[in-house]
Amino acid sequence: MILVTGGSGLVGSHLLFELCSKGEMVYALKRDASNTEMVKRLFHWYDPERGEELFLNIKWVEGDLNDIVSLQEAMTGVKYVYHCAAMVSFMPEDRQVMMKANVEGTANLVNVALLNDVEKFCHCSSVAAIGAPYRNKHVTESLVWKTSKRHSWYAISKYGAEREVWRASEEGLPVVIVNPSVVIGPGDPARSSAQLYQSVKNGMKFYTTGVTGFVDARDVATAMVKLMESGIVNQRFILNSENLSYKDLFALFAHYSGSKPPKYRAGRILTEMAWRMEKMRSIMTGQKPLLSRETARNATVRRYFSNEKVKKAIDIDFRPIRVAAENTSMFFKKYPVYLSPDFRMPS
């Protein structure tokens, strides 16, 4: 039996479809407040004829990463675990909760996996956990994490989660870690990169100067399953299709959504001004800021990621990001119920 955490998220929902399409019966851990309707729509989107039938292969199990009893119940009889659940936030007030969810939650999960003799554990991490490369160098799996003020607290939490997975591997749990770049695909626009699509669709005027890696959610799911089915253990793999500027990504979203691409360049000075102004607005209004220092500064950083290791390890051809952008756009055109007309991009 297979257990997937974070099944209602962007990566988790695509992973569930990948597994169910292969005929697997899957336990999916979810919190009480999690909405599975988007997952059902996703199944129908990718397989209109069998989507509803495949969705029935999922047994949703209520639980929480910080509730060890619920983890023990969810993992009874489970041989393979895919850990996709994580909190993503760049707001200072969320740091403590995020560290508890991502680091302590992962520690709890691997501990229960060890107790239950799980045969293999796949941890979906992030390229944020790899660290900052030297200037103009591609990021590879061999990069050594170095403490730096440039790391976001999200990156620190994902690095801490990886340390718990590596610790479990030393204690006898066979593991594999994947480090996706920015994942593009249909998902909840309030929780994933789909919010970038919605921002562009709603007429975003500014683009930032940063460059980063992007990958199709379907390719992340495929790579995770292939790595779990292989004999590879105790290794990590960057999952990245292309390194693109945010300007180029926004242009793709604009093209497929039928909107105009952002026109004005927001360099480092403008972004520094923007997050400070947003902080002042938040203090004056009591509303949560829509831009933080971390998101503003990350938006101007240029990072390039290598996918050579995973391409040598398994048979995978990454989809071009234009295909991922088109897929995302077409999904939201078919299911506009998930898009609020007054949606504003959160940080």
Q: Which pLDDT does position 187 carry in this prediction? A: 85
Residues 6+ apart with CB under 8 A from 272: 296, 297
Q: How far apart are CA 183 and CA 165, in angstroms?
A: 22
Instruction: Quick: pLDDT tens for 56-81.
Output: 999 999 999 999 999 999 999 999 99
Instruction: Quick: pLDDT tens for 187-202.
Output: 877 766 777 888 888 8
CB atoms within 10 A of CB 105: 24
Q: What are phi and psi of 212, to 5 degrees?
A: -155, 180
pLDDT at 134 over 80: no
Residues 6+ apart with CB under 8 A from 334: 45
Distance of CA 265 to the CA centre of its chain: 27
Residue 81 is encoded by which pair of tokens? Answer: 């675990």
Instruction: Quick: pLDDT tens for 323-346.
Output: 999 999 999 988 875 444 333 333
The tokens 């998902």 sit on which residue?
Answer: 187
Instruction: Quick: pLDDT tens for 32-43.
Output: 777 788 899 999
| pLDDT band at residue 283 using 50, 70 and 90 as cut-offs | low
pLDDT at 232 over 60: yes
**Secondary-structure breakdown of the chain: helix, strand, coil percentages, each rounded to the nearest 5:** 45, 15, 35
Q: Which pLDDT does position 345 carry in this prediction? A: 33
Q: Which pLDDT does position 204 carry in this prediction? A: 77
Check residues 265 and 106 and name the one with the higher pLDDT: 106
pLDDT at 185 over 50: yes
Residues 6+ apart with CB under 8 A from 77: 1
Q: Which pLDDT does position 279 carry in this prediction? A: 60
Mean predicted confidence (pLDDT) in 221-239: 96
Q: How many residues does the chain have?
A: 347
Packing angle between helix 37-46 and helix 321-334, nearest 10 degrees?
120
Q: Give percent above pLDDT 90 in the chain.
A: 60
pLDDT at 249 over 50: yes
Residues 6+ apart with CB under 8 A from 304: 133, 137, 138, 139, 211, 213, 243
Q: Which pLDDT does position 277 carry in this prediction? A: 66
Mean predicted confidence (pLDDT) in 274-286: 64
Mean predicted confidence (pLDDT) in 170-182: 96
Q: Which pLDDT does position 48 carry in this prediction? A: 94
Q: Which pLDDT does position 297 carry in this prediction? A: 65
pLDDT averaged over every residue in the chain: 86
Q: Which pLDDT does position 132 carry in this prediction? A: 75
Q: Which pLDDT does position 294 carry in this prediction? A: 62
| pLDDT band at residue 123 using 50, 70 and 90 as cut-offs | very high
The closest of 146, 121, 123, 115 to 133, measured between CA atoms, is 146
pLDDT at 143 over 50: yes
Are the CB atoms for 75 and 108 separated by under 8 Å?
no
Structural domains in the chain, sorted by start:
2-183+216-240+304-321 (3.40.50.720)
Give the range among 73-77, 97-101, 168-172, 264-268 with minimum mean pLDDT.
Answer: 264-268
Q: Which pLDDT does position 241 carry in this prediction? A: 97
pLDDT at 104 over 70: yes
Give the range among 56-60, 152-156, 294-298, 338-342 with minimum mean pLDDT.
Answer: 338-342
> Dihedral (C-alpha) 276, 279, 244, 251: value to the nearest 10 degrees?
-100
The closest of 247, 230, 223, 200 to 345, measured between CA atoms, is 200
